[in-house]
Amino acid sequence: MKTLKTIIVIIISSLFVISCSKDDESTPEPAKPTYLLTKTIFGSSNTNYTYDADNKLIVLEQMNPASTNYKTAFFYNSNGRLEEIFDSSSGGPFPSYSKTKTTHVYDAQNRLIERKFFENSYDFPSVFNYEKSDFFEYNGNSVIQKTINSGNSLPGRRAVFEFNTDGNVSKYTIYSQIDANNPNGLMDTSVVYVYDDKINAETSLSAERAFPFFNKNNIIKMTQTNSSGDTTIIDIIYEYNQDGYPIKQTVGKSSITLEWKKI
């Protein structure tokens, strides 16, 4: 077993989100929350969350006093589904170099089937060039995500999400080295998850924002195995408020604090 400091940094700087979707179901919306997540604090960085009158997330702002600040705006379609995301930055050495747009495509069953990524061309006014897409296939209690870059016909990566009966991802496997002779690719990394029975920190956010990563509950243990068989085990510890919402998340010596607004 080995411990990877970089993995811990990735985990602690973001909240885990997963959701389950069956063949005959639309991309799920989380249950209506009792609280809305308003702020997360990690070291000197703060992330603030702003909602509209319907309690849908419309702005996410990450403030980094010593570095670049990031702002993400969310726009929804007439069905209330996430349609577009715009990311931009301010401050830092290259503030205009990180403007991106993400659009979401749904099928007749209102399931997310494609997430398109665009990069700013640096023209004025801004023109966004298509970069890649995530395509989603639904197969019983699993979702397959294929990432295909612009100009390619085969995915550069294939990910399989397996869900348990609670609607949480039980296993996440990444396949790479995909070609015409091996369209499914070779296993690169797999992660097995264990959960608590409390409310996930991002239940107040849009399910499509990070689908299929949208959990009902909080991950308390991750077992990651690479293609060589090396294993990394990561434990995540939470503190909760009186209603079971997490107010602190700790991995190793690093922690993130969460603030809520009751609705």
Q: Which amino acid is at 171?
A: K
Q: For residue 137, what are the CA distances in angstroms to 77, 104, 212?
A: 22, 14, 11
Query: For the segment 133-169, what is each residue's pLDDT rounded down to a tens digit?
Result: 999 999 989 999 999 999 999 999 999 999 999 989 9
Output phi, psi for 209, to 5 deg. Answer: -55, -40
Q: Tell me the three state secondary structure of residue 96.
A: helix
The pTM of the whole model exceeds 0.85: no
Question: Among 12-16, 47-51, 113-117, 231-235, where is mean pLDDT lowest?
Answer: 12-16
Domain count, the chain: 1
Question: Is the peptide bond between 33 and the residue preceding it cis, with omega within 30 degrees of 0?
Answer: no
Q: What is the CATH number of the domain that holds 40?
A: 2.40.128.720
Radius of gyration of the chain (CA): 19
Query: For the segment 221-245, what is each residue's pLDDT rounded down to a tens digit?
Result: 999 999 999 999 999 999 999 999 9
- How far apart are the C-alpha atoms of 23 and 141, rounded to whole Å? 8
Range of the domain at 228: 5-262
